[in-house]
Amino acid sequence: MSGILVDGVIGQDILASSSGEVVYAGNDLPGFGQLIIIKHSETFLSAYGYNQDVYVNEGQNVKKGQKIASMGLNSNQAPCLYFEIRRSGKPIDPLILLSSS
């Protein structure tokens, strides 16, 4: 894994980190549970894993701060969010970008 785990509570709102288009919403990628991937630009994607409920669909445009899911359980049955940002296909430390926004 290349992202971070964010602790929380089951059912807690998961919000889009930035505006963009949902390019994936499902559970076909092993190890992430219900996963959402948002394309923010030709350069940046964000991924949100371990969701309990997903409130967006592929192809849907979302705004920064919009509720996209609710927090679920990771593989250890602990409530958390898996969060990852990719720049040009390579994972980067999301804390760098989030601290500047």
Q: Is the pLDDT of residue 1 over 80?
A: no
- Architecture of the domain whose range is 4-99: Distorted Sandwich (2.70)
Q: In this prediction, what percent of the chain has a pLDDT beyond 90? A: 82
More confident residue, 41 or 98: 41
Q: What is the pLDDT of residue 101?
A: 53
What's the per-residue H, E or C state across 37-81?
EEECCCCEEEEEEEEEEECCCCCCEECCCCEEEEEEECCCCCEEE
Taking the CA of residue 73 as centre, how many other CA atoms within 13 Å lie in the half-sphere pointing to its CB? 4
CA R_g for the chain: 12
Domain residue spans of the chain: 4-99
pLDDT band at 94 (very low <50, low <70, confident <90, very high): confident
* Digit-coded pLDDT (tens) for 15-50: 999 999 999 999 998 889 999 999 999 999 999 999
Range from 16-20, 77-81, 88-92 carrying the lowest mean pLDDT: 88-92
Q: Is the pLDDT of residue 95 over 80?
A: no
Does residue 51 contact residue 9 with C-beta atoms inside 8 Å?
no
Q: What whole-number distance in Å separates Cα of residue 36 and Cα of residue 54?
A: 8
